[in-house]
Amino acid sequence: MNNNMTVGMDLGDKNNTVCVLDAAGAVVLREQLVNTKESLMKFFKKYPGSLVAVEAGTHSPWISRLLESLGCEVLVGNARKLRAIWTAKDKCDGRDAEMLARIARVDRSLLYPIHHRGEATQMDLAVMRARDELVSVRADLVNHVRSTVKGTGHRVNKCSTEAFSRKSQESIPEGLRPALMPIIEAIEAISEKIRAFDKEIATTMQARHPEAKRLSQVPGVGPVTSMGFVLSLEDPARFTKSRSVGAYLGLTAKRDQSGQTDKQLRITKAGDEYVRRLLVGCSHYILGVFGPDCDLRRFGLKLAARGGKNAKRRAIVAVARKLGVMLHRLWVTGAAYDPDFLTNRMKQAA
């Protein structure tokens, strides 16, 4: 049995560097492995029950699942927190692997281990991210057309991005049509692909994620946001308190406190940037002119009314954080959304 062995593995794109420590902390093996399932299975079958430490990266999700299936205990370290590794003066793959093993052997919490999503969830989330990439590309193309037309003294008529390919053609000067019409055709093709993704997301939500459909009852939270939220968190039981979701998504402020000094800093921006961006987008809608009256809107408008240079920005972030907390609470309890829940509770208490 090798359950007293600790293995550190520095992951690469083609090769992985491995360092194995025994129970006393002595190095018993250094080796390079080809980054394939066959190579990893052959090696780790020699070390069943061992503790394996890797850094989070492109290959860490499937590698961690593979090693767990072989009976290993896998710790996926948060690369942002492992300063002892990435600031070393003699940094190399072999040293990185050894440091991972030694940190895991001494105190695994120093790796700030993260939780990778399951394979099925990863596949569903890949659809969401593919749609997001197309939306980003389409926005860049639309901006290119608008700025190019402005350079000739003309303007493209105001319209939604969805209708841009249809309504912009009449605004294109004749001299620019050879340059811009192919781009407009590409915008329409991308819009069709985005609509296809929207249908697939709706089908997936109906078939496999009914909890996401329940979260869509909140005004401003559509299928894309609710699905992104559910797939990112995956398991609501991971959080003992709904308030922890705000910190998980990087929507809480950093802290730098020493003595009597406690600085006001920006949000951490930790966690999933995609879901954080979706929640911020919902927050903009809730506080916008079309946002329905509710506790969240009143809370945000009260913060924005305090004035100051960044009052509106802080209100947007604060509403996004509260929205994330509320969505998790609705998910856990299965309750129906009440836009005046806090207001009614305060009235009852009074």
> Do 237 and 341 share a structural domain?
yes
The answer to whether 116 and 76 have CB atoms below 8 angstroms apart is yes
Domain-embedded: residue 63 = yes
| Domain end residue (candidates: 160, 183, 208) | 208
| Domain end residue (candidates: 208, 232, 253) | 208
> Do 337 and 222 share a structural domain?
yes
> Do 239 and 176 share a structural domain?
no
pLDDT of amino acid 2: 57
> Do 106 and 141 share a structural domain?
no
How many domains are there within the chain? 3
pLDDT of amino acid 262: 76
Domain-embedded: residue 318 = yes
- Buried (b) or exposed (e) across 4-25, using 16+ Cβ within 10 A? ebbbbbbbbeeebbbbbbeeee
**Structural domain for 252, as ranges:** 216-350
The answer to whether 287 and 319 have CB atoms below 8 angstroms apart is yes
> Do 349 and 272 share a structural domain?
yes
DSSP, residue by residue, 200-212: HHHHHHHHH-HHH
> Do 281 and 254 share a structural domain?
yes
pLDDT of amino acid 306: 86
pLDDT of amino acid 348: 82
Spatial CA neighbour of 322 closest among 218, 224, 235: 218
- Cα–Cα separations (whole angstroms), residue 312 to 66, 305, 315: 46, 8, 5
Domain-embedded: residue 300 = yes
Spatial CA neighbour of 73 closest among 97, 93, 101: 101
Task: Calculate ∠ Cα 309-312-318, nearest 5°.
Answer: 125
Domain-embedded: residue 74 = yes
Domain-embedded: residue 128 = yes
Contacts of 229 (CB under 8 A, 6+ apart): 212, 215, 275, 278, 279, 324, 327
| Domain end residue (candidates: 83, 111, 139) | 111
Domain-embedded: residue 1 = no
Dihedral, CA of residue 77, residue 80, residue 83 and residue 87, to nearest 10 = 120
3-state percent helix, strand, coil for the chain, nearest multiple of 5: 55, 10, 35
Distance of alpha carbon 71 from alpha carbon 154, whole angstroms: 66
DSSP, residue by residue, 281-319: HHHHHHHSTTPPPSHHHHHHHHHHTT-STTHHHHHHHHH
Distance of alpha carbon 229 from alpha carbon 243, whole angstroms: 15
> Do 125 and 50 share a structural domain?
no
pLDDT of amino acid 4: 84
> Do 349 and 238 share a structural domain?
yes
Alpha helices in 237-294 (DSSP H): 244-248, 273-287
Q: Phi and psi at residue 8, in whole multiples of 5°?
A: -105, 135
> Do 162 and 72 share a structural domain?
no
Residues, the chain, total? 350
> Do 79 and 40 share a structural domain?
yes
- 122 CA to centre of own chain: 12
- 232 CA to centre of own chain: 6
pLDDT of amino acid 310: 86
pLDDT of amino acid 1: 45
Residue 83 is part of a domain; what is its CATH number? 3.30.420.40
Per-residue pLDDT of the chain (350 residues; tens, 9 = 90+): 456 899 999 999 999 999 999 999 999 999 999 999 999 999 999 999 999 999 999 999 999 999 999 999 999 999 888 888 888 888 999 999 999 999 999 999 999 999 899 999 999 999 999 999 999 999 999 999 999 999 999 999 899 999 999 999 989 999 999 999 999 999 999 999 999 999 999 999 999 999 999 999 999 999 999 999 999 999 999 999 999 999 999 999 888 888 877 787 888 898 899 999 999 999 999 999 999 999 999 999 999 998 777 899 999 999 999 999 999 999 999 999 999 988 888 888 76
Average pLDDT, the chain: 93
DSSP, residue by residue, 130-194: HHHHHHHHHHHHHHHHHHHHHTTT--PPP--STTHHHHSGGGS-GGGHHHHHHHHHHHHHHHHHH
> Do 349 and 230 share a structural domain?
yes
Spatial CA neighbour of 124 closest among 208, 191, 223: 208
pLDDT of amino acid 87: 84
pLDDT of amino acid 3: 67
Strands 257-258 and 73-77: unpaired
> Do 335 and 223 share a structural domain?
yes
